[in-house]
């Protein structure tokens, strides 16, 4: 019987990427949107790792199952690491992708080329109702463009230039983004550790 793993997120974009990145494992992947009475998850920490842990534990305690949470965001050097853990709320609760991007590009208006460096960070936490089982992190370095470009991905992808490809994440096919992204790297590390964790 495959182990059931609940992705502690209702973000459909994250669910799609995480499902792709977990393909081929002997694990039945479900997510909050598929549960009849999904728990409400909060993020009160000041780091990605704290928030991932908080979400994974809350999900595991509410469902009694193994849960994997992702907390992720964009850290911009010229903005002292902002928007960071507030990436989803940077332009206010419920802001659209366009509003997030407009706010970021506005804040970066006077930042010259060469100082527009940034990274996406993804913290993963795996928890059972007994506690946190493991944590992983992935990062990817890039720069912030002056204009959005591309239709793919989500969130800040249209303004995140990935220098090795010379394009934004939103201009890359999903497999190409997943191969190098913060979430892809964190999930690759998780995949490598999972067999040993399941044997315990
Ligand atoms: P949270 O992890 O639910 O707090 O939300 C993280 C926020 O960071 C998302 O809503 C996006 O705005 C941003 N973010 C995280 N990962 C990505 C990504 O892969 N591409 C673009 N934006 C991302």
**Cβ(55)–Cβ(41) under 8 Å?**
yes
| Phi, psi (deg, nearest 5) at residue 71 | -120, 130
* 71 is an active site residue: yes
Choosing from 7, 47, 73, 169 the residue with most ligand 1 atoms within 8 A of its CB, the one to mutate for a pocket test is 73
Q: Please write the tens of the pLDDT for every residue from 138-151.
A: 999 999 999 999 99
The label of the residue with tokens 């990274």 reads 119
Helix (H, G, I), strand (E, B) or coil at 66: strand
Q: Which atom in ligand 1 lies closest to the alpha carbon of residue 100?
A: 12
Q: Bridge-partner residues for 72, per DSSP?
A: 122
120 pocket-lining for ligand 1 (C-beta < 6 Å): yes
The sign of the dihedral angle between the CA atoms of 196, 68, 162, 152 is positive
- Considering the candidates 71, 77, 82, 110, report the single residue annotated as catalytic: 71
Q: Please write the tens of the pLDDT for every residue from 99-131.
A: 999 999 999 999 999 999 999 999 999 999 999
Whether 200 has a pLDDT exceeding 80, the answer reads: no
Predicted local distance difference test score (pLDDT) of residue 19: 93
73 CA from centroid of ligand 1 (Å): 5
| Phi, psi (deg, nearest 5) at residue 39 | -70, 150
120 CA from centroid of ligand 1 (Å): 8
Calculate the average pLDDT of the chain.
96
129 CA from centroid of ligand 1 (Å): 26
Q: Please write the tens of the pLDDT for every residue from 8-59.
A: 998 999 999 999 999 998 899 999 999 999 999 999 999 999 999 999 999 9
Helix (H, G, I), strand (E, B) or coil at 75: strand
Contacts of residue 33, Cβ cutoff 8 Å, sequence gap at least 6: 10, 12, 15
Domain-wise residue ranges, the chain = 3-198
| Phi, psi (deg, nearest 5) at residue 114 | 90, -20
Predicted model pTM: 0.96
Task: Please return the burial class of 93, using the count of CB atoms within 10 Å of its CB with bins 0-12, 13-18 and 19+.
Answer: exposed
Whether 195 has a pLDDT exceeding 90, the answer reads: no
CATH topology of domain 3-198: Maf protein (3.90.950)
Q: Bridge-partner residues for 183, per DSSP?
A: none
Helix (H, G, I), strand (E, B) or coil at 48: helix
Q: Which atom in ligand 1 lies closest to the alpha carbon of residue 183?
A: 19
């Amino acid at each position: 019987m495959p182990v059931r793993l609940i992705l502690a997120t209702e973000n459909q974009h994250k669910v799609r990427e995480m499902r792709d990145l977990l393909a081929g494992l002997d694990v039945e992947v479900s997510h909050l949107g598929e549960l009849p009475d999904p728990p409400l998850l909060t993020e009160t920490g000041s780091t990605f790792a704290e928030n991932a842990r908080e979400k994974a534990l809350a999900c595991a305690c509410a469902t009694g199952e193994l849960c994997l949470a992702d907390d992720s965001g964009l850290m911009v050097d010229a903005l002292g690491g902002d928007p960071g853990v507030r990436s989803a709320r940077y332009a206010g609760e419920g802001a659209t992708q366009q509003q997030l991007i407009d706010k970021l590009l506005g804040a970066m208006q006077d930042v010259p080329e060469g100082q527009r460096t940034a990274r996406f960070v993804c913290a993963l936490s795996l928890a059972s109702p007994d506690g946190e089982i493991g944590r992983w992190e992935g990062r990817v370095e890039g720069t912030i463009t002056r204009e959005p470009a591309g239709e793919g991905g989500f969130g800040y992808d249209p303004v995140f230039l990935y220098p090795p490809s010379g394009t934004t994440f939103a201009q890359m096919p999903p497999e190409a983004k997943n191969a190098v992204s913060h979430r892809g790297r964190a999930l690759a590390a998780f995949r490598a550790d999972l067999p040993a964790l399941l044997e315990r």
